[in-house]
């Protein structure tokens, strides 16, 4: 599976969040595509890029409840009617569509009664509508709130969740998570030189935790079954 | 009351709908402000313009379920945090906020089960969120669907509804409508040279219809009251 991350940020070099995510996106089969860096949009090239990938991600900071103008510029030019749904060419159909959105406001503000009084899902409606029109499979939004206030270990956890968002098979089931972690373990430990590695440790801990969760669940189920049999 | 119509359309001269609306917007106290015509955005000037008006309208065709990139460019530059809600300067508070959106799809597509499967109100969520954040009074969206297929008299009715949307007092009550029509009658008939005038006739017909509605309502109420008294 190949993933295209279409990133929009007018000052990406000054964005701590985007620089952090850029490190995380350095994975096999992931293409990082920063739209503001394109001097001009070559529509055919962009459309070819979309076709080559199986999972399309829009990634941006929330500017007035939407992506920065750069992404709209890209959308208005690249997503021609014919390419997306005209003339029976459903070029994006069956592909997966995800959103990685960062905000400086706390997540709790984005709910009815919160200071924004609207949910992240609600303000993402235009993007979902595009995905739906293109017959894509919509993934749940990946929201990063107040990145700069997160503690280092939470940031590391976020990085792994982000990597899973980019490359793990959908849906985010326990089984798919296990397959992902096992694959990543194998790949990463190959390149692990024995020095201290925070990321490796976090992966390992998460994995062990999940293994324990599973074994606990299994024994619970087995107890329930025993109870039913008696 | 002064109304600012912030219009976004990349090819406005080729847009039949926008040219039609432009004719309608030629009213006292209405400022037509086409953002794509600004060679560069003078933030202070734009903010001053906003401050001077009481009703702010975003007007645009629906491009991928949002305004064209030109409006986002304007938003991202003009709506600085400090101007909208920072430092206690609620520069837009108490102003009214409206949206005039045109679409080439029929209105019935924009509902659950329709081919868009999403409502116009839902995809306008980012704009409502801005208005809410700015403590503005939100007006119902004015939607124009498939303008080019409308018959001439329907287009004329639309023009009057549009003019009311720009300048009639909110809410759209019978009383406010009557006040608006009376004012417009007086103003327009002053300049009426006696030749045939479709617009005048439509206004007149609408007005007479409403007068009749009112008198009918009044006699119904009076009958109900008589019934209660007996």
Q: What is the CATH architecture assignment of B3-170?
A: 3-Layer(aba) Sandwich (3.40)
Contacts 24+ apart (CB under 8 A), A179-182: A181/A206, A181/A207, A181/A210
Query: Mind listing the pLDDT tens digit for each residue in B42-82?
Result: 999 999 999 999 999 999 999 999 999 999 999 999 999 99
Question: Are B65 and A118 inside 8 Å of each other by CB?
Answer: no
Looking at the DSSP bridge assignments, the partners of residue B85 are: none
Which residues in chain A have Cβ-Cβ distances shorter than 8 Å to B64? 72, 75-76, 79, 126, 129-130
- Residue pair B92/B84 in contact by the 8 Å Cβ criterion: yes
Is the Cα dihedral A215, A216, A218, A222 positive or negative? positive
B39 CB neighbour count, 10 Å cutoff: 5
Alpha-carbon gap, residue B139 to B165, rounded angstroms: 9
Question: Are B64 and A79 inside 8 Å of each other by CB?
Answer: yes
Residue B141 DSSP label: P
The shortest CB-CB distance from B123 to any of A63, A73, A129 is to A129
The shortest CB-CB distance from A75 to any of B64, B116, B125 is to B64
Give mean pLDDT, residues A128-154.
Answer: 97
Alpha-carbon distances of A169 from A54, A164, A206, A213, B138, rounded to whole Å: 11, 8, 18, 20, 42
User: Is the pLDDT at B118 greater than 80, yes or no?
Assistant: yes
Q: Which of the four pLDDT bands, split at 50, 70 and 90, describes residue B116?
A: very high
What's CA B167's distance to the chain center, in Å?
8
Tell me the average pLDDT of chain B: 92
Q: Which CATH superfamily is domain A3-172 in?
A: Flavodoxin domain (3.40.50.360)
Q: Check if the interface score ipTM surpasses 0.95.
A: no
Residue of B nearest to A75 (CA): B64
The closest of B150, B49, B57 to B97, measured between CA atoms, is: B57
**B89: which residues sit within 8 A by CB, 6+ positions away?**
B82, B83
Which residues in chain B have Cβ-Cβ distances shorter than 8 Å to A116? 129, 132-133
pLDDT, position B79: 97
Question: Are B66 and A65 inside 8 Å of each other by CB?
Answer: no
pLDDT, position B30: 98
3-state secondary structure A118-150: CCHHHHCHHHHHHHHHCCCEECCCEEEECHHHC
For tokens 């959308």, name the residue. A75
User: Is the pLDDT at A198 greater than 80, yes or no?
Assistant: no
Shortest Cα–Cα distance, A163 to chain B (Å)? 28
Structural tokens at position A116 = 């924004």
Q: Where are the domains of chain B?
A: 3-170, 173-230
Question: Are B130 and A63 inside 8 Å of each other by CB?
Answer: no
pLDDT, position A194: 59
Could you tell me where the DSSP H helices lie in A7-68?
A: 16-24, 43-52
pLDDT, position A69: 97
């Amino acid at each position: 599976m190949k993933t295209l991350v279409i990133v929009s940020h007018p000052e990406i070099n000054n964005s701590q969040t985007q620089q952090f995510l850029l490190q995380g996106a350095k994975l096999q089969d992931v293409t990082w595509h920063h739209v503001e860096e394109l001097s001009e949009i070559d529509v055919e090239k962009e459309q070819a890029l979309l076709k080559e990938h199986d999972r399309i991600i829009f990634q941006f900071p929330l500017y007035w409840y939407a992506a920065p103008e750069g992404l709209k510029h890209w959308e208005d030019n690249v997503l021609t009617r014919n390419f997306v749904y005209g003339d029976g060419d459903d070029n994006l159909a069956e592909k997966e569509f995800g959103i990685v959105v960062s905000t400086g406001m706390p997540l709790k503000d984005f709910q009815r009664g919160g200071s924004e009084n609207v949910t992240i899902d609600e303000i993402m409606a235009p993007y979902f509508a595009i995905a739906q029109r293109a017959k894509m499979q919509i993934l749940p939004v990946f929201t990063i709130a107040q990145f700069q206030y997160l503690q280092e270990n939470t940031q590391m956890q976020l990085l792994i969740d982000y990597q899973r968002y980019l490359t793990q098979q959908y849906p985010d089931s326990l089984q798919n998570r296990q397959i992902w972690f096992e694959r990543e373990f194998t790949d990463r430990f190959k390149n692990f030189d024995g020095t201290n590695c925070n990321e490796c440790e976090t992966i390992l801990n998460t994995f062990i935790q999940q293994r324990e969760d599973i074994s606990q669940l299994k024994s619970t189920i087995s107890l329930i079954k025993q109870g039913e049999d008696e």
